[in-house]
Structure 1
């Protein structure tokens, strides 16, 4: 399952078409141990092996490789299957339907098997996006990140 998560995440997930923005993704597992003084020590390891309860750190790198500024661009990424993302970033929008509708989690609803609706929960999130600054000049780069817990 770990390889499938890593492979699915590393695959390019195109956002709305503006090819000047280049995207890359890295994923790590956060490990917590105790140092000699009894304090917690956090380290990042390769996400080759992940299991239930592991915390993933997902880092999305972006760069404007074009010759012109890019305006109104949203960095969009699929959430690794089998994870519950931390969606506390106020600048982050989420989708629970594969990118069809966007908003904060408390604004999203899903149909139930019996024809009703229910509030979406973090486990329902399929995609995450962030709106980049108003105009991204050529050569400008940055990174965005979030945590996700393996279910």
Structure 2
């Protein structure tokens, strides 16, 4: 079970670390000069000499309740600045977005069809009505990077908990 969870997380991270460039770049996403790489780490609490601290470690196995950090690194390998570059990440079904996630972050709760801050989104309540969406309903996250200069790099990340 743990191995399949890691495989599912790795597959979700590797698959659609989708990049959706600004409309000016939409003509050919295959030739985008922005390179993306993704990784997932386990946020473990360790105590050494009486001091407690968080360390990010490569996951060998994960268990329900563990905290994960998903990171997407980007780098402009081209010669021109990239404007309004959009990075879209799916949230694997095996995890739930951390409760302390920035509420202004743009998310989707319907598989990427509609987007907005979590506080503005609703989901079916199972009784033919709707309820406010919560962190467990998030299916995708999206960041817009205003400018990536030639040779510049950076990262976006989100925290989640294994279900």
For residue 90 of structure 1, report the CA deviation from its aligned partner: 5.5
What count of residue pairs does the alignment treat as equivalent?
149
Say whether 1:21 aligns with 2:34: yes
TM-score for both structures, normalised by structure 1 = 0.88
Aligned-partner Cα distance in 2 for 1:88–1:2: 22
1:114 maps onto 2:115 in alignment: no
Partner of 1:52: 64
Q: Give structure 1 stretches of 5+ with no counterpart.
A: none
How far apart in 2 are the matches of 1:125 and 1:92?
11
Match of 2:112 in 1: 99
Residues in 2 aligned to 1:90 and 1:67: alpha-carbon distance in whole angstroms? 35
TM-score (norm 2): 0.82
For structure 2, the residue ranges without an aligned partner over 5 or more in a row are: 21-25
Which residue of structure 1 lines up, in the alignment, with residue 145 of structure 2? 132
C-alpha contact (below 8 Å) 1:91/1:130 kept by paired residues: no
Q: Report the secondary structure of 2:89's partner residue.
A: strand
Matching residue of 2:23: none
Does the CA contact (< 8 Å) of 1:2 and 1:51 recur in 2? no
* Distance across 1 between alignment mates of 2:79 and 2:115: 30
SS of structure 1 residue aligned to 2:18: coil
1:105 and 1:112 map into 2 onto residues whose CA distance is 16
- 1:88 alignment partner in structure 2: 101
